[in-house]
Structure 1
Amino acid sequence: MQTRKLTDEEFNATRNAPLRVEDSTPPLDFWSYVEAIPAEDFGIADCREGKVTHVYRMGNEFEHVLVNSQYQGVAMVIVIDLKQGQVYGHYLLDINPPGTKEAES
């Protein structure tokens, strides 16, 4: 399966009026895409548990599914293109302040 690591610019272009989705069925099964993401795209993050606690709808164009890592504030975002009905790409999101050190495992 072909994957696409999004640049900062590409990811930010998919962000538009985010609205948190509380109860939803994903528009498609994206787990095979997650499994195909190269290990180096995860950096130090480990998202193998596949735990999703946040999903955001970006207007009628995109949905951001955050697959949690072992670190608070770090998640792999799977960007789903709602119009095309497919995964647009992925982006490792770290919302921690710059200079924050990773917790020791």
Structure 2
Amino acid sequence: MQTRLLTPEEFKATHFSPARVEDSTPTPDFWIYVQAIPAEHFGIFDCREGQVTHVYRMGDEFEHVLINSQYQGVAMVIVVDLSSNSVHGHYLLDVNPPGTQIPEENA
């Protein structure tokens, strides 16, 4: 399966008027797409548990499905194109302040 890493500009273009939703239905190939994302797109972050706690709808055009990583404030966002019911791309989102240190494993 072909995946598409969105640039910051491409991601921002899909982000407008976010509204959290509870009734989202994943596209048929959603998890197949997630499994096909190259490991290097995750960096040091691990989203393998597939824990989705937030879905935001951007008007009638896109949904942002956040798959949590092991660290608070970092998630892989899968952008779904609602008009075609397909995955538009993905973006690693880090909402932590710049310079935030990642906890050490055995600290």
Offset of 1:28 from its aligned partner? 3.8
**Equivalent residues in 2 for 1:34-49 (5 A)?**
34-49=34-49
Offset of 1:104 from its aligned partner? 1.4
Contact 2:27–2:87 at 8 Å: present in 1 too?
A: no
Offset of 1:57 from its aligned partner? 0.2
**What is the number of equivalent residue pairs in this alignment?**
105
In structure 2, what is the equivalent of residue 54 of structure 1? 54
**Equivalent residues in 2 for 1:1-105 (5 A)?**
1-105=1-105
Partners in 2 of 1:27 and 1:68 — Cα distance? 19
Please state whether the residue corresponding to 1:32 is helix, strand or coil: helix
Partners in 2 of 1:26 and 1:19 — Cα distance? 17
Partners in 2 of 1:74 and 1:22 — Cα distance? 20
Q: Deviations over 1:48-88 (max 9, x none)?
A: 00000000000000000000000000000000000111100
Letter in structure 2 aligned against 1:31: W
Offset of 1:29 from its aligned partner? 4.0
Letter in structure 1 aligned against 2:17: A
Contact 2:4–2:88 at 8 Å: present in 1 too?
A: yes
**TM-score if structure 1 supplies the norm length?**
0.96
Offset of 1:90 from its aligned partner? 0.2
Please state whether the residue corresponding to 1:33 is helix, strand or coil: helix
Partners in 2 of 1:23 and 1:10 — Cα distance? 25
Contact 1:53–1:67 at 8 Å: present in 2 too?
A: yes
> Would the alpha carbon gap of residues 28 and 52 (structure 1) be closer, same or farther in structure 2, given more than 3 Å must change?
same
Offset of 1:103 from its aligned partner? 1.2
**TM-score if structure 2 supplies the norm length?**
0.94
Runs of at least 4 residues off by over 6 Å:
none
Offset of 1:95 from its aligned partner? 0.1
Structure 1 residue runs without a partner (length 5+):
none
